[in-house]
Amino acid sequence: MNEKFKLIKQSFKMLEGLSVFDEEVIREAVKPIAEVYGAAAIMLEIPFRSNKQIFYLYGDNSVDIVGKQIFTYEGRRRAGVRTVITWISSGTIWDDEDLEDLDFISTTACTLSEKLRLDAMANSYYYIDTVTGVSNNNGLGRFVSKLIRRGIFHQYGCALLDIIGFSYVNKKVGFRTGTKVIKQYASKLKEIFGADELVARPGGDNFIIIFKKSNIDKLTNLVSGIDVKARVNSATMRFTLTARAGIYMVNSPDQTFDNVVSYLSTSLNYAKSYSRTNVVYYNKDVEHKVIEHKEFCQKFKNAIDKNEFYVLYQPKVYTKNNTLYGAEALVRWNNDGKVIYPGDFVEIFEKEHLISALDFYVLEQTCRDMRSWLDNGLEPVTVSVNFSNDHLGDDELVDRIIAIVDKYGIDHHLIEIEMTETVDVYEINRLLTYVNGLHKNGFTVAIDDFGIGYSSLLMLQNISVDVLKIDKAFIAELTGDAEKRENIILRHIINMAEELGVEIVAEGVETDEQRSNLTDMHCHRIQGYFYDKPLFTDAFRLRLSAKTY
């Protein structure tokens, strides 16, 4: 008995010296007592106003309690709550004398409960994200440090989540309600994972999850969508929040978390910029691809300054008289003698918000060429220039377009601005303002790749555009079979556009059969290799001199 109480005295002496709540120090102090009394686990429940926080002073929640002896001590009720200490035996049978010892130890321990409770409350604010209730960066660091100290970090995987399109939720319901939605999302993440796993919010609409490798399916499933709802003006709005995830499966028990965070960031960047899936696992190939991507984007500014981008013009032909009536300006990149096509850089530049500078570059080159044609006595045709939806946040967009076109003295009706469809209601409203501004200043507006998005009819209902360009995916499937599904859809699009007074252009036309089928559907404006490939400036100048094919 005396030997046991020597251990107890030493343990409490360690605890009395604590200035802050330190779970690891407490576990170290309690360990000798737990071992001498044959405990498998010792739990401390510290109450809060609305919940309780459980600390395993010895062992953890993996202990099987079936058939085990359990001793529970409840401290004095203070301010309506009480601290509870629970001992679970490892198979040892505690006799009456042992139980008296456990009671004495627990009673003494509860004299520290108020300090522990207050410190734990302070810790909860220090380690918990106050918006969502999940861990913050401090809590994340503490959790991972414990896994590393216990030598079990390699049993876990780590994921960095980025909610896709959460800005739309904020635009739809407002920032305050959006905060409630993100809190609800965080709560559902916590429900998915266990007490020995962690959900943390480093900020914004990003989350980090530390999960048991055996639960990888839970992680990949939640990426496909979590349902949340919000009340707005007495109405319930429902959202399915999907996410991208960068994942790293820890392969070393002493892996540093700084490296893990770097790996997660790299794999998430890859998911955003390259991958066609929303889940990317980190490996060296991913890292190399991201580095190449950054270097590729760094080359962009120099390429603009050195005029490495050049413009080609693909003719548009009116089939009733086989005459050139317009063209589309298309960009290519001559990088160290290698021609890079838009499919290899446009999407990347859009994601990195570099594309707007390239769009203005193409517009200026087009106006410069058009000025040259006019000065040489040629009659130009209307040329369409592509502008990314990345411009829709620019309140000065129309003024900037006007400034470039007027700089070269080009009539506004000779420039057509092409935009792509958008499903974002906020962007549709911005696009409406943008189109109205262009129309007031004499420009025409085309919608590119029409018919393949979810918002085609919604855009036509809200925005008065001048031209619809039928996506080449429809043209590739075009046959003489009038009952084929794609043909029926295309025929109705053409008829609808005609009734609305909107011009239809079919792009990607390569065969005489496609041209013939389109004219049978009363689509007489065509762009594609059947008539001409994209032409260099000098070749297009000759085409302006002889417009008939």
Per-residue pLDDT band at 122 (split at 50, 70, 90) = low
Confidence at residue 79, expressed as pLDDT on a 0 to 100 scale: 55
Residue 332: Cβ within 10 Å count: 17
Residue 333: Cβ within 10 Å count: 18
Q: Residue 482 pLDDT > 70, yes or no? A: no
Hey, what amino acid is at 367?
Answer: C
The residues, ordered by sequence, that sit 6+ positions from 154 with a Cβ below 8 Å of its Cβ are 250, 251, 252, 253, 255
- The CB-side HSE value for 427 (13 A sphere, CA atoms) comes to 16
- CA triple 329-335-340, angle to 5 deg: 50
Give the three-state DSSP class for 394: coil
Confidence at residue 128, expressed as pLDDT on a 0 to 100 scale: 87
DSSP state of 360: H
Residue 36: Cβ within 10 Å count: 13
Could you list the beta-strand ranges (E) of 155-261. Answer: 156-163, 198-203, 206-212, 226-232, 235-241, 243-249
Given a contact cutoff of 8 angstroms between Cβ atoms, the answer to whether 246 and 208 are in contact is no
Q: In which element (H, E) is residue 317 found?
A: strand 309-318
Per-residue pLDDT band at 49 (split at 50, 70, 90) = low
- The CB-side HSE value for 121 (13 A sphere, CA atoms) comes to 10
Per-residue pLDDT band at 456 (split at 50, 70, 90) = low
Buried b / exposed e over 505-517, threshold 16 CB at 10 Å, is: bbbbbeeeebbeb
Lowest mean pLDDT among 259-263, 332-336, 392-396: 392-396
Determine what percent of the chain is predicted with pLDDT higher than 70.
91
**What does 433-486 look like in DSSP terms, one character per residue?**
HHHHHHHHTT-EEEEEEETSSS-HHHHHHH---SEEEE-HHHHHT--S-TTSHH
Q: In which element (H, E) is residue 431 found?
A: helix 425-440
Per-residue pLDDT band at 298 (split at 50, 70, 90) = confident
Looking only at the bridges linking them, the beta strands covering 206-212 and 503-507 are unpaired
- Secondary structure of 523-546 in the HEC alphabet? CCEEECCCCCCCECHHHHHHHHHC
**What does 3-32 look like in DSSP terms, one character per residue?**
HHHHHHHHHHHHHHT-SS--HHHHHHHHHH
CA–CA distance, 514 with 467 (Å, rounded to integer): 20
Confidence at residue 234, expressed as pLDDT on a 0 to 100 scale: 73
Q: What's the token pair of residue 153?
A: 């970090």
Selected residue with higher pLDDT from 6 and 380: 380
Selected residue with higher pLDDT from 18 and 355: 355
Given a contact cutoff of 8 angstroms between Cβ atoms, the answer to whether 341 and 396 are in contact is no
Q: Residue 64 pLDDT > 70, yes or no? A: yes
Per-residue pLDDT band at 478 (split at 50, 70, 90) = confident
Confidence at residue 166, expressed as pLDDT on a 0 to 100 scale: 85
Provide the sign of the torsion angle of the four alpha carbons 169, 171, 177, 183, taken in this order.
positive
**What does 28-92 look like in DSSP terms, one character per residue?**
HHHHHHHHHTTEEEEEEEEE-SS-EEEEEEES-TT---TT--EEEEE---BTTB--EEEEEESSP
Q: What is the mean pLDDT of residues 318-341?
A: 94
Q: Residue 172 pLDDT > 80, yes or no? A: no
CA–CA distance, 432 with 319 (Å, rounded to integer): 31
Q: What's the token pair of residue 541?
A: 């100048």
Confidence at residue 190, expressed as pLDDT on a 0 to 100 scale: 92
Buried b / exposed e over 393-404, threshold 16 CB at 10 Å, is: eeeebbeebbeb
Is the whole-model pTM more than 0.85?
no
Helices (H) and strands (E) in the chain, counts: 19, 20
Confidence at residue 442, expressed as pLDDT on a 0 to 100 scale: 95
What's the alpha-carbon Rg for the chain, to the nearest Å? 34
Burial tier of 541 (Cβ tally within 10 Å: 0-12, 13-18, 19+):
middle
